[in-house]
């Protein structure tokens, strides 16, 4: 089961996890990753832009790739877009599997791809205005683990 | 009907708007001609990709868009 | 921040994750693992026994060990005890960190230890009665990854 | 006052009860004497550990418990 969404409003991880768990009563383990806007330095706000024809399609393909690589019962990819503040949830990934190692690896894989390889454009507002962001070197090396 | 250009990320700042309609048909040289100044220069750079109707072009200079098509101008992604 | 509990009643992962996330607004990433009683074969019920002076102390020490090994903002270990049915949540682990790799590794580490090294005794009820369970070989090899 | 024995896991099945009080003081031979039959045999096995007041004994044959102490008899754990 694939549950892939781009959210224009709030991401509420608790209810999303409750629903995902209820949808997979047969799964022995569910691993989730919740990413939040980090209160780094003087970042006042963050805006994420997407382009639906590419962004959603890319997330669907990422979910399919994870389902192909690991024996999963289900995968969830929810990503916020639009304006956010430090501390706001921005991404939730969850993988349900019979065995926990598969769930851990699939969630880790999905996050590494979403962080550096997904069709999102991000800008941060600091005291001196808005700045467009590119992935960190760490994100690229994380991604290279899976190739 | 026209060709719709969609500017993503910092390209929207350079364009001064998220979208622009230009008359079709439109090829690569027509696109550059329709986007003079810093925007045209940016798009010429190898890190900018083009997608037509949601499909990324392997070679953006092979662009061939008709009226009703949507061209997305894609700077490097930030990731999520 | 350490949140270590042995639960005698229901484990509700959604609300627990919402509270843990709210307690760590500064964390860029939170990884969770939810383990549920697997509906394997003819298992009708499962009962987990613990011995509080050892079990809770051992879980506290495990949380401390994770906090020592990784730069975490917080760790949560909640474990059910008592009678459960297939599909019931039995364990919830969560790790909050500035960087997601630390959170993934700490949650993985905590689960490997809880699965094979924690002071719990488990028995399963099948058609022919109750059977005491020992860890799977896989659990022992998972644990050996961390030494 | 007495020494309280707490039987965990399958040892509670063998004992027929989760707990038993025996008079103190109690050493290893006294414990074996207090638990005849299959329970005593099981406890003699190397996979069974003892804890006194929540501290696992490195050498269970060095047991020395007084009235008021709690001895836990611990079979191999199942994990969570």
- The pLDDT of residue A142 is 80
DSSP secondary structure of A84-102: E-TT-EEEEEEEEESSHHH
Q: What mean pLDDT comes out for the span A97-118?
A: 95
Q: Quick check: C107 contacting A, CB < 8 Å?
A: yes
Q: Quick check: C27 contacting A, CB < 8 Å?
A: yes
Greatest alpha-carbon pair distance for chain B in Å reads 34
Q: What is the pLDDT of residues C17-43, one digit of tens each?
A: 999 999 998 899 999 999 999 887 788
Q: What is the pLDDT of residues C97-134, one digit of tens each?
A: 999 999 999 999 999 999 988 999 999 999 999 999 87
Phi, psi of A42 (to 5 degrees): -110, 30
Q: All domains of chain B, ordered by start, with CATH?
A: 3-74 (3.10.20.30)
Q: What mean pLDDT comes out for the span A104-127?
A: 94
CB atoms B75 and A135 under 8 Å: no
D 12-31 → C contacts, CB under 8 A: 12-13
Q: Is the pLDDT assigned to residue C142 strictly greater than 90?
A: no
For residue C37, the chain D residue with the least C-alpha distance is D80
Q: What is the pLDDT of residues A27-84, one digit of tens each?
A: 999 999 999 998 877 889 999 999 999 999 999 999 999 999 999 999 999 999 999 9
Q: Quick check: A90 contacting B, CB < 8 Å?
A: yes
Q: What mean pLDDT comes out for the span A120-139?
A: 87
CB atoms A118 and B79 under 8 Å: yes
Chains C and D touch (3+ CB pairs under 8 A): yes
Per-residue pLDDT tens digits of chain D, which is 80 residues long: 899 999 999 999 999 999 999 998 999 999 999 998 899 999 998 889 999 999 999 999 999 999 999 999 999 998 77
Indicate if the alpha-carbon torsion angle B3, B9, B11, B17 is positive or negative. Answer: positive
For residue B9, the chain A residue with the least C-alpha distance is A121
The CA distance from D43 to the nearest CA of chain C, in Å, is: 16
Above pLDDT 90, what percent of chain A? 81
Q: Quick check: D76 contacting C, CB < 8 Å?
A: yes
Q: Which residues of A touch C33 (CB under 8 A)?
A: 29-32, 100, 103-104
Lowest mean pLDDT among A133-147, C47-61, C82-96: A133-147
Phi, psi of A37 (to 5 degrees): -65, 120
Report chain C's mean pLDDT, rounded to a whole number: 93
DSSP secondary structure of D2-71: -EEEEE-THHHHHHTSSEEEEPSPEEHHHHHHHS-THHHHHHHSTT-EEEETTEE-SSGGG-EE-TT-EE
How many beta-carbon pairs below 8 A join chains C and D? Answer: 65
The CA distance from A26 to the nearest CA of chain C, in Å, is: 6
Please report, for chain A, the start and end positions of each structural domain, with discontinuous segments joined by +: 2-144
How far apart, in whole angstroms, are the C-alpha atoms of residue B69 and residue D1? Answer: 89
Burial pattern A103-130, b for ≥16 Cβ within 10 A else e, equals bbbbbbbbbbbbbbbbbbbbbbeeeeee
Query: Does the complex come out with an ipTM higher than 0.95?
Result: no
Is the Cβ–Cβ distance between D54 and C57 less than 8 Å?
yes
Q: H or E stretch including A114?
A: helix A100-117
How far apart, in whole angstroms, are the C-alpha atoms of residue B24 and residue B67? Answer: 5
Q: H or E stretch including A22?
A: helix A13-23
For residue C40, the chain A residue with the least C-alpha distance is A26
Tokens, residue C84: 């459960």
Predicted TM-score (pTM) of the model is 0.91
The CA distance from C26 to the nearest CA of chain D, in Å, is: 30
In CATH terms, the superfamily for domain C2-144 is Molybdopterin biosynthesis MoaE subunit (3.90.1170.40)
Chains A and D touch (3+ CB pairs under 8 A): no
- The pLDDT of residue C139 is 74
Cis before D50 (ω within 30): no
Q: Which of C15, C36, C108 is the best residue to mutate to test the A interface, defined by the most A CB atoms within 10 Å of its own CB?
A: C36
Q: How confident is the model at residue C146 (pLDDT cuts 50, 70, 90)?
A: confident
Burial-class residue C55 by CB neighbours within 10 Å (0-12, 13-18, 19+). buried
Q: Quick check: A81 contacting B, CB < 8 Å?
A: no
How far apart, in whole angstroms, are the C-alpha atoms of residue C25 and residue C41? Answer: 42
CB atoms C142 and A101 under 8 Å: yes
Q: Which residues in chain B land under pLDDT 70?
A: none
How far apart, in whole angstroms, are the C-alpha atoms of residue B10 and residue D28? Answer: 77
Q: Which residues of C touch D51 (CB under 8 A)?
A: 51, 53-54
Q: Is the pLDDT assigned to residue A15 strictly greater than 90?
A: yes
Q: What is the pLDDT of residues C56-70, one digit of tens each?
A: 999 999 999 999 999
């Amino acid at each position: 089961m694939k549950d892939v969404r781009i959210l224009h409003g709030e991401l509420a991880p608790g209810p999303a996890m409750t629903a995902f768990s209820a949808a997979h009563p047969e799964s022995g383990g569910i691993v989730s990753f919740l990413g939040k806007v980090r209160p780094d330095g003087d970042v006042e706000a963050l805006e994420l832009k997407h382009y639906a024809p590419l962004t959603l399609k890319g997330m669907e393909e990422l979910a399919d790739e994870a389902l192909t690589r690991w024996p999963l019962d289900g995968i969830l990819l929810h990503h916020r877009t639009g304006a956010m503040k430090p501390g706001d949830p921005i991404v939730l990934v969850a993988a349900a599997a019979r065995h926990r190692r598969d769930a851990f690896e699939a969630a880790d894989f999905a996050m590494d791809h979403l962080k550096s390889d997904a069709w999102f454009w991000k800008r941060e507002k600091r005291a001196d205005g808005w700045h467009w962001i590119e992935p960190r070197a760490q994100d690229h090396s994380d991604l290279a683990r899976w190739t | 009907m026209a060709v719709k250009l969609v500017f993503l990320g910092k390209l929207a700042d350079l364009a001064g708007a998220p979208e622009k309609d230009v008359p079709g048909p439109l090829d690569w040289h027509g696109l550059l001609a329709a986007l003079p100044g810093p925007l045209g220069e940016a798009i010429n750079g190898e890190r900018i990709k083009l997608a037509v109707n949601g499909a990324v072009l392997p070679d953006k200079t092979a662009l061939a868009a008709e009226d009703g098509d949507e061209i997305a101008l894609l700077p490097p992604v930030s990731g999520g």
